Amino acid sequence: CLVNFLFETERDKIKLSSTDLEIAVQCYIKGEITEDGGITIPSKRFADIIKELSADNEIEIKADETNQINIKSGKSKFNLMGISKTEYPVIPEPPEKNNFTIKKEIFASMLKKTVFATSRDSQRYVLNGVYFILRDGKLEMVATDGRRLAYVKTNITQVETKGKAIVPTKAVNDILRLLSSDINSEDVKIGIADNRISAEIDDITLLSTLVEGTFPNYEQVIPKKSDLKIKLNVKNALTAVKQMALLTDNRLSSDRSAAVKFYFSQDLLKISASSAGIGSGETELEIEYKNDPAEINFNPDFIKEILQSIDEDSVIFEFSNSLNPAVIFPETDKNYLCVIMPMRV
């Protein structure tokens, strides 16, 4: 019955619910209720029918004791077979405690700044999501796949709210789709408790189970001190990396052909790539740099995703040598940073 959605009446509204047992969505829509009840309706078939009906006509939906659903709109009539609502899984209510409210633009921005760094390796399941930390009047988010890490934080007004949770990548992407939809409300209510997270905005609620396990100690991964600090223009650096990425073989190996090299010399950054059987390339950026020459190699996709997540014109690029992780963060935003491991070639 998971290919169906649950259609119910609740007071003067229609309540729609759907779940895959990991993620559930509930929403309310206005309707004229003539008789209370509920039934599950085949999701895709129903959606296809509704799409083809004229927006000028009202839709009338009835269900009888045999679970037959009658749909009428204008001169069009349809019959579908549903399933009793008693067969549908029970969808839990949003957590009543440990809630906080945050601007949807801020929340969406934080998710976008971290979700790209989550792991896709099912064997490392605790990294398959964004780690939420609620403490001291702050919301922190962390994501890592072991090769790069993204961290962002913001203040929240509910200082008493505390907790930790690993929110699955799929749920994060679903929440982002919800926040980007045409919704009037500027705020989203988030609840984390009882091994689930809820996101409520207007008449829509999304619930998801959490990833079970202990997130690694991310703080020890973030370098406390770096010897070299360089300011880069985001747009120019991103363009240069994209150009050189065309000459890599797009693998996550330690092979030289998968890397883009950053070579720093007197007031100049050379970004280059070389791949046997493909070719080589090099481009230059003018920078302020007075130290000894230094070079470091990166996976170009990782650098691109980091630069694309930064809203400012300039970033600070810090590292000590070609073996230790580098830190990239916006020039003026101290609440966001990314750590990236270099490639050894």
Give per-residue pLDDT as tens, 284-332: 999 999 999 999 999 999 999 999 999 999 999 999 999 999 999 999 9
Residue-wise pLDDT tens digits, 30-64: 999 999 999 999 999 999 999 999 989 999 999 99
Q: Name the fold adopted by 4-87.
A: DNA Polymerase III; Chain A, domain 2 (3.10.150)
* 178-200 pLDDT per residue, tens: 999 878 889 999 999 889 999 99
For residue 76, the model assigns a pLDDT of 96
Looking at CATH, the fold of the domain delimited by 228-340 is given as DNA Polymerase III; Chain A, domain 2 (3.10.150)
- Share of the chain residues as helix, strand and coil, in percent rounded to the nearest 5: 20, 40, 35
Same fold, 4-87 and 99-209: yes
pLDDT tens by residue, 223-277 = 999 999 999 999 999 999 999 999 986 654 445 558 999 999 999 999 999 988 8
CA–CA separation, 135 and 96 (whole Å): 18
What is the helix (H) or strand (E) element at residue 73, kind and residue range? strand 68-73
On whether the 99-209 domain is CATH 1.10.645.10, my answer is no
- Is 141 a residue whose pLDDT tops 80? yes
pLDDT classification of 161: cutoffs 50, 70, 90: confident
pLDDT of residue 284: 97
The pLDDT, as a whole number, for residue 87 is 94
Percent of the chain with pLDDT over 90: 85
Domain ranges for the chain: 4-87, 99-209, 228-340
Q: How far apart are CA 41 and CA 47, in angstroms?
A: 10
Looking up tokens 């001169």, which residue turns up? Answer: 75
- pLDDT value, residue 158: 83
Of 205, 208, 209, 275, residue with least CA distance to 247? 275
pLDDT in the model for residue 257: 57
Question: Which residue is listed with tokens 């919301």?
Answer: 139
Q: What is the pLDDT of residues 91-130, one digit of tens each?
A: 998 888 889 999 999 999 999 999 999 999 989 999 999 9
pLDDT of residue 199: 96
Query: What local confidence, expressed as pLDDT, does residue 254 receive?
Result: 47
Provide the residue type at 307 as one letter.
L
Largest distance between two CA atoms of the chain: 81
Amino acid found at 34: T
Q: Which pTM value belongs to this model?
A: 0.92
- Asked whether the beta carbons of 270 and 283 are under 8 A apart, the reply is yes
- Cα–Cα distance between 238 and 285 in angstroms, integer? 11
